[in-house]
Amino acid sequence: MKKTVLAAALAFSLGLTAAEPALAQPQYAAAPTVSSPYAPYAFLIGEWESSEQMGSFVQRFRWGPNNSYIQLTTSLMGAPGAAEHLHFEGIAVYNAANNNLDFLVVVEPGSFGQEHGTLHVDPGGLVIREIMLVSANGRTERFRQTFRSTGVDTAVTSLMRQAADGSWAPNFPGSDVVDMRRRRA
Task: Output the DSSP codes for 137-178.
Answer: TS-EEEEEEEEEE-SSSEEEEEEEEE-TTS-EEESSTTTTSE
**How confident is the model over 110-134, as a mean pLDDT?**
97
| Higher-scoring residue by pLDDT: 27, 172 | 172
What are the boundaries of each domain within the chain? 38-182
| Higher-scoring residue by pLDDT: 167, 82 | 167
| Higher-scoring residue by pLDDT: 107, 32 | 107
* The pLDDT of residue 1: 43
| Higher-scoring residue by pLDDT: 3, 56 | 56
Q: Which residues contact 73 (CB under 8 A, 6 or more apart)?
A: 59, 60, 62, 86, 88, 89
CA of residue 145 relative to chain centroid, distance? 12
Q: Indicate if the pLDDT at residue 86 is higher than 80.
A: yes
Residues above pLDDT 90, as percent of the chain: 71
For the chain, strand residue ranges (E) read 46-52, 55-63, 70-78, 85-95, 100-107, 113-121, 127-134, 140-149, 154-162, 168-170, 178-182
70: alpha, beta or left, given left = phi > 0 and alpha = psi -120 to 50?
beta
* The pLDDT of residue 51: 87
Q: Indicate if the pLDDT at residue 7 is higher than 90.
A: no
* The pLDDT of residue 41: 96
| Higher-scoring residue by pLDDT: 30, 104 | 104
Q: Indicate if the pLDDT at residue 33 is higher than 70.
A: no
> Quick check: helix, strand or coil at residue 31?
coil
Amino acid sitting at position 106: V
| Higher-scoring residue by pLDDT: 12, 27 | 27
Residues above pLDDT 70, as percent of the chain: 82
Neighbours of 83 (CB within 10 A): 9
Q: Per-residue pLDDT tens for 140-169?
A: 999 999 999 999 999 999 999 999 999 999
* The pLDDT of residue 32: 63
Give the fold, CATH level 3, of 38-182: Lipocalin (2.40.128)
* The pLDDT of residue 52: 79
